[in-house]
Amino acid sequence: MKRVLWSFVFVLSFFIFPLTNASAASNEQQLVKEIKEIITENYVGTIHGNLQKAKTIPEIIEMLDPYSTYFTKKEFEEFINSIDLSTIGVGVIIEEHEDGIHILQVFEGSGASDAGVVAGDIITAINGQSVVGSSTQEVSSLLIGDENTKLGVTLQHADGTTSTTTITRKKFTLPNVESTLLFGNVGYIAMSSFSEDGAELVKKALIQLKQSGATSFILDLQNNGGGYVTTAQEITGFFPKAKTAFLLEEAHANYKVRAVNQDEKFPADTRILVNRYSASASEMLAATLQDQQSAILYGETTYGKGCMQGFFELQDGSYLKLTIGNFTGPLGKTINEVGVKPNIQTKTAPIFQAHYDAIKAQYTKYKELASLKNVADPKNLTVKVPYTLSSQMSEDKVQLIALGGNEVPMTAKVDGRSLIVTPSKPLSAGREYMILVHPKTQNANKAPQGFYQRIIMKK
């Protein structure tokens, strides 16, 4: 049986131990024969060696590309869980603390959540063993374990009290899609994996952001290594001009695969963020949207994994993951080993440029001043304003925006042709900001004389 998905960049390592009895050896030879037949019929790629002379599974896998491998039944389940971001544990994010291990986040539906653990609690002991002075790696090894097993955790709470609670390790799902509303009614959606429910999660976030007032969007696919092919097709359908999901070249045929149409849509000026770790399905989506002019890509050239893997269930319940095709966007540009080059390449985090451009698009009649780069003073910003604009400045018409975030509280002072902005808290090194100055007066017979400027803080 074949299951098709866009595999992650990484290949799970495995070990095949020698089989000692005749029956086991015979079973392995049957597997070897079965795998050879599947490869001969379906594999797309170069075979490095004589496949028919290979006698073991590792020997066969060594002849294939890096994305083809063999999974035991358990390894296959773990791989699928990694795509769906499912794991087994207590369900917390932790950091080291002088009093023990500080809990930064508790995942909904996890064993920790069920036991009443909250962010801010500090783990001081596990099963009676003190963890004060321990590293997060050491504590993580104590927290993980088999599903439905229990452990006693001693907690120090924010009010200074302590308690010991029993937590059951269970399978839970990490958040795959996260969203927020940025300044300027810009909806931001970050997707970590093309999980089976990925399109449903994106749709939910899209609807919620629109209800919150979002009028433009940023979809972040940075570090997204891929996932299910059906999810990729479904997400393509959220973009109004994207009718084709991808072109696919298999061993014996070529296909044009259509997008799955959706009743919710991203606007045409949606901005997609990618980086060198955006791979497989992320690259397919980026390429097809770029080819059909359905979105604007920001960031850096993607990983370059333009091939698709299928999973073939073998007679003993194990699986062969095999490269069965190469994909491209509708224009047929090569992706494999090349990647997708974004429309706008950025040297810093692409969210800064994308958010800046989304805000700019709302103020087309405002003047853009030259960016201030490598700003060293985090407490005061001084903007030199052209004479033609200086008369329009008013201290109550100034906004300071953290790009990739929201408005920053500050005070503004006009001193001749200088605008001095003092944030309530020091600005962050390496962060980018935007000063937006609205005109003091509105004249119906004259274009507004507002202006804006990008601020790049020194690292």
Q: Give the residue-averaged pLDDT of 239-266.
A: 96
Does residue 418 carry a pLDDT above 80? yes
Q: Return the pLDDT at 85.
A: 78
pLDDT per position as a tens digit, 189-240: 999 999 999 999 999 999 999 999 999 999 999 999 999 989 999 999 999 9
CA of residue 381 relative to chain centroid, distance: 33
Does residue 157 carry a pLDDT above 80? yes
φ and ψ at residue 379, rounded to 5 degrees: -105, -20
Q: What angle do CA 84, 90, 93 make, to 5 degrees?
A: 80
Q: How far apart are CA 152 and CA 90, in angstroms?
A: 11
Q: Return the pLDDT at 442.
A: 63
Give the amino acid at 338. Answer: V
- Specify the pTM: 0.82
Q: Return the pLDDT at 447.
A: 59
Q: Return the pLDDT at 264.
A: 97
Q: Return the pLDDT at 107.
A: 83
Collect all residues with Cβ–Cβ distance below 8 Å to 74 and sequence separation of at least 6: none
Does residue 6 carry a pLDDT above 90? no
pLDDT per position as a tens digit, 168-186: 999 877 789 999 999 999 9
Q: Return the pLDDT at 443.
A: 60
Output the average pLDDT for the chain. Answer: 90
Does residue 295 carry a pLDDT above 60? yes
| Of 148, 95, 150, nearest in space to 123 by CA | 95
Q: How far apart are CA 309 and CA 4, in angstroms?
A: 6
Q: Return the pLDDT at 23.
A: 58
For the chain, give the percent of residues with pLDDT over 70.
Answer: 93
| Of 303, 255, 237, 238, nearest in space to 246 by CA | 255
Cβ atoms < 10 Å from Cβ of 324: 24
- The structure tokens listed for 141 are 């090894």
* Angle of the 229-236 helix axis to the 281-291 helix axis, nearest 10: 30
Per-residue confidence band for 11, with pLDDT thresholds at 50, 70 and 90:
very low
Q: How far apart are CA 338 and CA 326, in angstroms?
A: 13
Does residue 5 carry a pLDDT above 70? no
pLDDT per position as a tens digit, 225-237: 999 989 999 999 9
pLDDT per position as a tens digit, 333-390: 999 999 999 999 999 999 999 999 999 999 999 999 999 999 999 999 999 998 888 8
Q: How far apart are CA 169 and CA 148, in angstroms?
A: 5
* DSSP conformation letters of 339-401: ----SEE-SS-HHHHHHHHHHHTT-TTSEEEEEEEEE--SS-EEEE--HHHHTT--GGGEEEE
Q: Is 250:307 a contact under the CB 8 Å cutoff?
A: no
Instruction: Map tokens 């004479």 to a residue.
Output: 387
151-182 CB burial, b ≥16 within 10 A, e <16:
bebbbbeeeeeeeeeebebbebbeebbebbeb
Least confident of 19-23, 115-119, 126-130, 140-144: 19-23
Q: How far apart are CA 223 and CA 361, in angstroms?
A: 27
Q: Highest mean pLDDT: which of 27-31, 43-47, 135-139?
A: 43-47
Q: Give the residue-averaged pLDDT of 384-400.
A: 88
Q: Return the pLDDT at 135.
A: 79
Q: What is the DSSP letter of 427?
A: P
